Amino acid sequence: MNVHITGTGSGIPARLVANGELAKTLDTSDEWIVSHTGIRARRIAGPDESTATLATAAARTALARAGVKPEDLGIIVLATSTPDYGAFPSCACLVQRDIGAVNAGAFDLFAACTGFIYALETARSLMLRDPRPALVIGADVMTRIVDWKDRNTCVLFGDGAGAVVLQASDRPGGLRDSILRADGTGSQHLVHEGGCRTPESGPWQKATLQMQGRQVFNFAVKAFDETVRALLAREKLTLDDVRWIVPHQANIRIIEATARRLDIGMDRFYVNIDELANTSAGTIPLALDQMIREEKLHSGDTIVLVGFGAGLTWGGTLIKW
């Protein structure tokens, strides 16, 4: 049995905030942000938008494109770091309710910016036991947990959700191989407090993201490079066989540094960080959806998805489209 992505969708807030708007209230500039990150704008969720509403919008489109009815879904796996509620109900259950997936199980998965890679492999593995279609979502509203006074971090993030539908079939290809990795010894490099460990930090919503940017940058380039090499080695492929590398969109300079290490051109990487910034678990499915709309993915293309982020976590998935 092979598992294919048969539909994709996006959920993006209406409000677009360009760098210049941030520079009105923060000691920063469009020039600094573009030159250090590649980001020109981000979407920011409005009062009526949340991780669940963006995820639901993405899910509806993905299901329609796949031609799958909500009641036919067997499982919903939603990767997020910013669930609507602190602990429960899960965002996946809110999506399940709103799309009417009455026969599906649903749960959230926490692996920060690597969440979509973890969710994809989790759903694929579950489908080996129950081959009904699966819905995999990466969704975050990072702008609700950043410290808007910290120019080192707040300029990097945006809000958005991407969804994919997985279906089992005998057609060759599909999700071929995955690598999931973690290194908790680096957990202090990227932290959002407010859980049970730090009750003194107050309500969950009050805690803000803390990051050691340089350490995260160095980790990301190494993890990115190693994941691509390891997946290709396992599949006995070379970089020449790969049409697209679709990375987590954290910083254009992370992608450029990896391109140099792999000795391939930037034209082999799909990049949309300029308009959406880092939407955490959302970046990879949002990129896939945009690639499909731009007709950049064709049957038989080999692509490599790569995620990395807090935890520390990292991983990749090799797909024959």
Residues with catalytic function:
113, 248, 278
Q: What angle do CA 18, 22, 27 make, to 5 degrees?
A: 140
In the complex, least distance from residue 270 CB atom to ligand COA, rounded to whole angstroms: 17
Q: What φ, ψ does residue 82 adopt, rounded to 5°? A: -130, 60
Residues 6+ apart with CB under 8 A from 251: 36, 37, 38, 156, 217, 220, 273, 278
DSSP per residue, 212-281: -HHHHHHHHHHHHHHHHHHHHHHTT--GGG-SEEEE--S-HHHHHHHHHHHT--GGGB---HHHH-B-GG
Which residue(s) pair with 134 in the sheet? 75, 166
* Beta carbons of 249 and 278 less than 8 angstroms apart: yes
In the complex, least distance from residue 126 CB atom to ligand COA, rounded to whole angstroms: 26
* Chain residue at closest Cβ approach to ligand COA: 213
162 dihedral zone (left: phi>0; alpha: psi -120 to 50; beta): beta
Compare residues 104 and 113 and give the one whose CB is closer to ligand COA.
113
Compare residues 166 and 284 and give the one whose CB is closer to ligand COA.
284
In the complex, least distance from residue 248 CB atom to ligand COA, rounded to whole angstroms: 6
Asked if omega into 89 is within 30° of 0 (cis), the reply is yes
In the complex, least distance from residue 78 CB atom to ligand COA, rounded to whole angstroms: 18
Site of interaction with ligand COA (CB under 6 A): 28, 32-33, 36-37, 113, 151-152, 155-156, 211, 213-214, 216-217, 220, 250-251, 278, 309
* Beta carbons of 123 and 134 less than 8 angstroms apart: yes
In the complex, least distance from residue 149 CB atom to ligand COA, rounded to whole angstroms: 11
Compare residues 55 and 310 and give the one whose CB is closer to ligand COA.
310
Compare residues 244 and 314 and give the one whose CB is closer to ligand COA.
314
Compare residues 137 and 209 and give the one whose CB is closer to ligand COA.
209
In the complex, least distance from residue 143 CB atom to ligand COA, rounded to whole angstroms: 14
How crowded is residue 55: how many other Cβ atoms within 10 Å of its Cβ?
A: 35
Compare residues 74 and 282 and give the one whose CB is closer to ligand COA.
282
Determine what percent of the chain falls in helix, strand and coil, rounding each to the nearest 5: 40, 25, 30
Q: Which has the closest alpha carbon to 203: 50, 90, 86, 110?
A: 86
CA distance 164 to 72: 15
